[in-house]
Structure 1
Amino acid sequence: MLTDSLLDVLRGFASLCPSRLQQPPLVGFKEFHDFLLHSILLNPHFQQYPPSKQYQASFWKWAIGLLERLVTEERAEPSRKEDEIDGRIYERMTSLVIRPSVGKVSGLDPPEESYVTYIWKTDPSVSGTLGPGLANATLMESRTLIESGTTGLKTWTAALVLAHYLTEHPELIRKKRILELGSGVGFLGIVIATLQLHSCDNEVSGTRDALFLTDVNDAVLRRCQENVRLPCNRSSQHASVGFRSLDWTDAMDSATRPAVLSALLCDMDPDVIVGADVVYDPDIIAPLVCTLSTALESGKLTGSGGAVAYIALTVRNEETLALFLEAAGTYSRVV
């Protein structure tokens, strides 16, 4: 079992946390060295789903610097057995040295796409990809703010916050039909699917467990599906995950609203609607709220009861947030 400080390093490496923000673990040379060797360098998960080479070069520079400092300090102690850094660690660092191509300026190339793994603690009896008591969501993500004309190819902070809230309150999504608006690359969907499966490990699976992930961008939705179905993610074992294209503006168009309503009622019939970082422009507030209202009312019409919505937002503009809160304020089941 990893100490909390080593778990923080593991999480930082897996999620591409900048090395300058990594805190040195509160352990000695041998424990840190063996952790780096076995939990990171030789870890089958990171061999199959590695962080980008750009990030790894930065991480290993930081880690080797810390190892060299620790070994120097410990060698100064009387009767201390001399420790050495495993050559494979140096070899890994050397293999990551990138020589800039002719005509390119080193350090100015855009960051490359990368696997990113988010880790959270779970029941110690659960054996995850990264060890007992650890659950993970692994995704291929863009490392730029905008790629292919969309911001949907990376995970944003609001999704991390909402995911943390749900891991603390899994009963909110247990044995429920979940609709996510603006699913992006699938992080929140992976977490929800994993939590639903964990809740069923020691009990009979609920027949209402289902998850519908939606987005308007086809490329984003394809990436979402690929990430959810990665074998390393528990979500790949969920039997009821659907992927749907959903344009919120359809809910405002009298010609298309019946089709949107039919899809939400007859197929999805959600108990819970979730959305993270979905309010980024004043122009999308009316379509979003109209879609939310349609989904929230669906349970009444199908006889399953009213739905509830959990929306997490990043405050980029106070006026935009105020507009959304005012528009959504008429719906008491939006949290």
Structure 2
Amino acid sequence: MDQMDLLPEERGEIMDKTQILRDFKTLFFAMNRINTFPWTFLEKDINSNTSSDLVLDVLKETCLHSLCRKFPPSVKFRRLFLSEIIRRQEAADCEPLDELYDALAEVLGAEETDQCYKSYLLPSGEAVSLLESVAVISSGTTGLVTWEAALYLAEWALDHRETFTDRSVLELGSGVGLTGITICRSCSPRRFVFSDAHRSVLQKLRHNVFKLNGLSSCDVTSPSVTVETTRPSPSVSVETIDWTSASDKQLKEIGADVVIAADVVYDPEVAVSLVKLLSRILKVGSPQVFICSTVRNQETYGGFKQQLESSGIRHRAIEGPVSRVFPYNRVSQIEMIELFT
């Protein structure tokens, strides 16, 4: 039956269900907090229907999805997620769902590790899958997890694709690679240079960029998703750029038209090195420079802006909403600035 043959309220119910399943999938693969899932809708369906069809559909979009088989969220997260569904089903005296308990048995028998996969769904339907550290601070660095400002910058890029199309882009402090991979997948840059200085970050970054997401000089298609596309493939590299010792020769060879960085202003000493590097980047070329920051400490962030001014670098805040593509905590203050000389 075609949806247009249904009553308006029936079409609305189908559309609501489609959105709910999409929400469960998006939140699950990004390992969002369990209490942010649309449990009320699921609970209402459980209590008003004798079947477990919606629960099974949720499972198919999460734990039983092929993406979960390839890039599973952490064992602990999947255990909490499945336990929450079971708790609500049992409270409604529903018939046990074999697939649900089989999935729980699988994670109960799985071994916990210090790494996990997170996958962020793009508007195109593709997934950016990343291997991240379970701990916020690991191997002496915070660069092994995805931070809010990186997600915000990726959303801004999706809204302003023309800024990156057919241009050479340098990302400073790429971390696990979310922002850059999103831009390579969706914004058609001519060249994209990921960079960091920490050895363990660079190792994981290369793994995420090339192995998990299939980026290269000739192929930007995810290995887990087949997509027909005619968009040009960017030349991609991962380079070591030490902010205190990067040479003018290295910066000139990169020849960036656009420079971006997210969540790099978190320490006064790091900010000093960053400003010196930005000053040199702006002197060897004339790129557009965008810095996105979660403002956790006003004194540190204000000090960064003062150092920019002292170095003859002006800035302006980029205001206005961005499309909400990725799930993350939007309570924190995030500011994005463009730099000028």
TM over 0.5: yes
Cα 1:239–1:173 shift into 2, 3 Å: closer
Structure 1 residue aligned with 2:278? 292
8 Å Cα contact 1:156-1:277 kept in structure 2: yes
Q: 1:219 aligned to 187, 197, 200, which one?
A: 200
For residue 294 of structure 2, what is the aligned residue in structure 1? 314
Alignment partner of 2:142: what SS? coil
Match of 1:131 in 2: none
* TM-score where L is the length of structure 1: 0.76
Separation in 2, partners of 1:290, 1:182: 15
**Secondary structure in 2 matching 1:311:** strand
Aligned amino acid, residue 123 of structure 2: K
Q: Deviations over 1:222-244 (max 9, x none)?
A: 11011012355667624511111
Conserved? CA contact 1:139–1:187, under 8 Å? yes
| CA distances 1:201-227 after superposition (whole Å, capped 9, x unpaired) | xxxxxxx61000111112211110110
Moved more, 37-46 or 280-289: 37-46
User: Tell me, what secondary structure is at the counterpart of 1:41?
Assistant: coil
Structure 2 counterpart SS, 1:313:
strand
Answer whether contact 2:168 2:192 (CA < 8 A) is retained.
Answer: yes
Write out aligned runs for 1:102-121 (5 A).
112-121=114-123
Asked if 2 retains the 8 angstrom alpha-carbon contact of 1:155 and 1:184, the reply is yes
Q: 1:261–1:60: structure 2 CA closer, same or farther, 3 Å change rule?
A: same
| 2:211 alignment partner in structure 1 | 230
3-state SS of the aligned residue for 2:39?
coil
- 2:20 corresponding residue in structure 1: 5
Deviation at 1:142? 0.5
Equivalent in the alignment of 2:106: 95
Give distance in 2, aligned partners of 1:8 and 1:99: 26
What letter corresponds to residue 244 of structure 2 in structure 1? T
Q: Which amino acid aligns with 1:159?
A: A
Which runs of no fewer than 5 residues in structure 2 stay unpaired? 1-14, 47-51, 221-232, 316-336
CA contact 2:150–2:263 (8 Å) conserved in 1: yes
State the superposition RMSD in angstroms: 2.5
d(CA) in 2 for partners of 1:154, 1:231: 15
Aligned residues: 279
Match of 1:264 in 2: 251
Equivalent pair of 1:33/1:85 in contact (CA under 8 Å) = no
User: How far does the alpha carbon of each residue in 1:72-124 deviate from its partner, in whole angstroms, 9 at most, with x for none?
Assistant: 4xxxxxxxxxxx45312211112323699xxxxxxxx9x731011112323xx
SS of 1:148's equivalent? coil
Letter in 1 for 2:31: L
Flag the 1:223–1:177 CA change in 2: closer, same or farther, 3 A. same
CA distance in 2, matches of 1:288, 1:99: 42
1:26 aligns with 2:8: no
Task: Give the Cα separation in 1 of the matches to 2:295 and 2:289.
Answer: 19
* Correspondence for 1:153 among 135, 144, 147: 144
Of 40-49 and 62-71, more deviation after overlay is shown by 62-71
Match of 1:189, SS state, is helix
1:222 corresponds to which letter in structure 2?
Q
| Partner residue in 2 for 1:36 | 58
Of residues 23-32 and 50-59 in structure 1, the stretch that sits farther from structure 2 once superposed is 23-32
Q: What does residue range 244-263 of structure 1 map to in structure 2 within 5 Å?
A: 244-250=239-245, 260-263=247-250
**Contact 1:277 1:313 (C-alpha < 8 Å) held by counterparts:** yes
Gaps of 5+ in 1: 73-83, 101-108, 123-133, 198-207, 252-259, 300-305
Sequence identity, in percent? Answer: 30
**SS of the residue 1:250 aligns to:** coil
Shift in Å at residue 307 of structure 1?
A: 0.8
Give the match for residue 303 of structure 1.
Answer: none
Which structure is higher in RCO with an 8 Å CA cutoff and minimum separation 6? Answer: 2
Please state how far the C-alpha of 1:282 moved relative to its aligned partner: 0.6
CA distance in 2, matches of 1:139, 1:158: 16
